[in-house]
Amino acid sequence: MKKLLITGASGFLGYHLCHLAKREWEVYGTYFSHSLEIPDIKMLKVDLTDFQELKQIFSDFQPAAVIHTAALSQPNFCQTHPEASYAINVTASCNIAGLCADSCIPCAFTSTDLVFDGLNAPYRETDPVCPVNIYGEQKVMAEEGMLERYPMTAICRMPLMFGMQTPTATSFIQPFIQTLEQGKELNLFIDEFRTPVSGKTAAKGLLLALEKVKGRIHLGGKERISRYDFGRLLVDIFQLPAHQLKACRQKDVKMAAPRPSDVSFDSSKAFSLGYQPLSLQEELQELRENFSTYI
């Protein structure tokens, strides 16, 4: 089998991607601070911000393709640590694109819906970007830098993702479930809209994009939904205490990084290529069937 290098294998998306990709690829996964073992995956501890170390990985393993998911992806952290996050989110990403260009191999990169300001949703790939926080700005810089170095890169803008807890990462639904089960109040925005997908669906989209896409692609779900309405759906399917779920607005919660209000995607381009997200109801029901695994 051909070798696939997946950066950020210890992250939520990277972990799901490794499990899916190993059916068709010999997968090498990188991690930095969160050591883990994934069956049938060769794990490599790598500092992606060290160019010599990164170049050595390409030289030693000679991957046939790369999917770059590694990032510092917490907007509040990026807002307060712009230099540390720039090193991995921008510099390392551009270096990876350059190394893929040197070998003429497929490269896919995970960007974000937070490249938009939230004022003109739903967003298509051709819509102008206008990030409102540093994380979004860094992803825009990475997109542009990677395409400049290697125009064949698949820039995969990812939506909000949820799903199974991994050995080293959770999605946003685990703290939601735990808060409600502990009888605590869960405040969710009624004025923040996304097009979420499960980690498993997102991984399928990335593998599809690696094969079929050059340039930008949106891998959102088929449903635009607020955080609060997603919470209601979660409460209904997981049979959680509904009375603890409360509505709030973005302005009610102070955060280091500003948040756009509606960054829902128009992902019709991806749908036309064969990307097929399930409904949120179906995705959550599938998680519910394995409830103990997901918290």
Tokens for 214, please give them: 């050059």
Residue 33, pLDDT score: 86
| Res 63 pLDDT > 70 | yes
Residue 74, pLDDT score: 96
Q: Is 284 helix (H, G, I), strand (E, B) or coil?
A: helix
Q: What are phi and psi of 157, to 5 degrees?
A: -80, 120
pLDDT confidence bin for 292, thresholds 50/70/90:
low
Q: Among 165-169, 200-204, 263-267, 280-284, where is mean pLDDT lowest?
A: 165-169
Residue 35, pLDDT score: 82
What number of residues does the chain have?
Answer: 295
Contact 153, 168 (CB under 8 A): no
Residue 84, pLDDT score: 96
The mean per-residue pLDDT over the stretch 28-34 comes to 93
Residue 227, pLDDT score: 96
Residue 294, pLDDT score: 43
pLDDT confidence bin for 108, thresholds 50/70/90:
very high
Domains of the chain: residue spans and CATH: 3-161+197-218 (3.40.50.720), 165-195+225-262+279-294 (3.90.25.10)
**Cα 205 to Cα 271: distance, rounded to the nearest angstrom:** 10
Residue 248, pLDDT score: 96
Contact 219, 69 (CB under 8 A): no
What pTM does this model have? 0.95
* Sign of the CA dihedral with 129 first, then 130, 135, and 138 last: positive
% residues pLDDT > 90 (the chain): 93
| Res 295 pLDDT > 70 | no
| Res 39 pLDDT > 80 | yes
Burial class (CB in 10 A: 0-12, 13-18, 19+), 107: buried
| Res 10 pLDDT > 60 | yes
When the pLDDT of each residue in the chain is averaged and rounded to a whole number, the result is 95
Alpha helices in the chain (DSSP H): 12-21, 51-61, 75-80, 82-86, 93-103, 134-149, 173-181, 199-212, 227-238, 268-272, 280-289
**DSSP one-letter code for 277:** P
pLDDT confidence bin for 216, thresholds 50/70/90:
very high
The mean per-residue pLDDT over the stretch 233-242 comes to 94
The mean per-residue pLDDT over the stretch 57-70 comes to 97
Region at 148 (left for phi over 0; alpha for psi -120 to 50; beta for the rest): alpha
